Amino acid sequence: MRLFIVRLTELAKGKSSFEQSFGREFFESFGSSEILDAALHADVQLDNHGVTVDVRCMVSGSVTVECDRCLEALEIPVEISFEESYTPDTDELDLRQDIYDYVLVSLPLQRVHPDGECNEETIKYLSK
């Protein structure tokens, strides 16, 4: 199975599940430069009804982005889940875009280190 692409012709009716781990390369495939690194794990549960497929996905782990204040690496924990019902028009169900979107939307708008953890050299220049 390719990363988050389910071949419906190989999917039995009823419930099934799979797990996949993914990292920075996943985000690079979308052209995203804001994710510097990632260590994520997805648990995907499928319920194939024939015409529709219900999907429940849980993603956990962390992503590394630049701190908005000091531009150093900042690790942000990720813990998301979503449920969707799909009516595929091809023999594949591609979950990549939804997983990408849900992870990015879960990140805070302002991404900064906790007080006192930013790069001190950079903070000196900002406080002038």
- Residue 90: give its domain's CATH number: 3.30.450
Number of domains in the chain: 1
Question: Using the 8-state DSSP alphabet, how is residue 109 labeled?
Answer: S
Kindly report, residue by residue over 64-98, the tens digit of the pLDDT.
999 999 999 999 999 999 999 999 889 999 999 99
Task: Output the pLDDT for position 38.
Answer: 97
Task: Provide mean pLDDT across the span 98-116.
Answer: 95
6 forms beta bridges with 93
Q: Range of 40's domain?
A: 5-126
| Chain centroid offset of residue 54 CA | 19
Would the pLDDT of 128 be above 70? Answer: no
Q: Which band of pLDDT confidence, cut at 50, 70 and 90, is reported for residue 116? A: confident
Neighbours of 45 (CB within 10 A): 15
Asked if 77 contacts 35 with a C-beta cutoff of 8 angstroms, the reply is no
- The counts of H helices and E strands in the chain are 3, 6
